[in-house]
Amino acid sequence: MSTLKQSNLKIAAVQYDIQWLDKNTNFKKLETMIGDFFEGHEAIDLLLLPETFSTGFCLDDSSVKEAEDGGTDLIWLKKMAAAHNCVVAGTVFVKQGDKKANRFYWASPDGSVEYYDKRHLFRLGNEGDFVSQGKIRKIFEINGIKILPQVCYDLRFPVWSRNRQDYDLLVNVANWPAVRRSVWDTLLKARAIENQVFVVGVNRVGDDGLGVDHSGGTTVVDFTGESLIGAKDNHQQVISIELDFSALEKYKRSFPAYLDADDFEIG
């Protein structure tokens, strides 16, 4: 078990209707929603946005990819992180060879940036035809609290999520369709229970440019699988919560199931 430098983390998650291929509108909408949120709340540590927050999940348009240095999307993320003094994170498509990466950017208020590239590509939507597969599992950290980033379809694959006692919180940002919403709800709880961690799932609402409906389901789940807070379905909303990681450590001491986990390696 990790030794935490601090026991609490304040998190906010934005559920909204991403406008198809309209970055300026999405940036303005997010700035308004986030600005309104901060007018009524104290400082937070981490602000999470849905997958492909600036464009929607558009695979086959070759223009939908930022430069390898992150382009305008990363500039905007860094600006928001500095303005609100918190980590701001979400995914964008970034040029990678003759394809693109579905890149989860983690922008800190000091201007530093880390990233994770989505590992599991959605075969049913032919994502692999346009997107390069991420190879490296990443762990990010805020004040000693270790965080595993994931993107949408990654949620279905428990081996990639397996807690090696190297993280305390799993975050998954998604464009998860309404037709499979019950799967989203179930897997978020399953990943929390089996890994004995907090889980935050961030999803969009509304129809995308392909006519796919999204109902939301943005939520925070504790290490027993109980939902602590959730956004209203089909509603644009910022939710926030302060998580107590000392409660997680206490729970793992009283119920140390992780000690019986199988050893394994990912190829």
Which is catalytic among the residues 51, 100, 127, 189?
Answer: 51
Q: Identify which of 191, 197, 196, 175 has the alpha carbon closest to the alpha carbon of residue 260.
A: 196
The C-alpha angle 169, 170, 171, rounded to 5 degrees, equals 120
Phi, psi of 193 (to 5 degrees): -65, -50
* Residue for token pair 């998650």: 13
118 flagged as catalytic: yes
Query: Which residue type is seen at 199?
Result: V
Which is catalytic among the residues 66, 127, 152, 189?
Answer: 152
CA atoms within 13 A on the CB side of 62: 3
226 flagged as catalytic: no
- Alpha carbon distances (Å) from 187 to 15, 181, 195, 221, 250: 19, 10, 12, 11, 24
CA 166 to chain CA centroid, nearest Å = 18
68 flagged as catalytic: no
Q: Is 69 helix (H, G, I), strand (E, B) or coil?
A: coil
Round to whole Å and give the CA distance between 38 and 119: 33
Contact 131, 154 (CB under 8 A): no
Which is catalytic among the residues 100, 118, 146, 189?
Answer: 118
* Residue for token pair 């305390």: 168
The C-alpha angle 221, 223, 224, rounded to 5 degrees, equals 90
Return the active site residues. 51, 118, 152
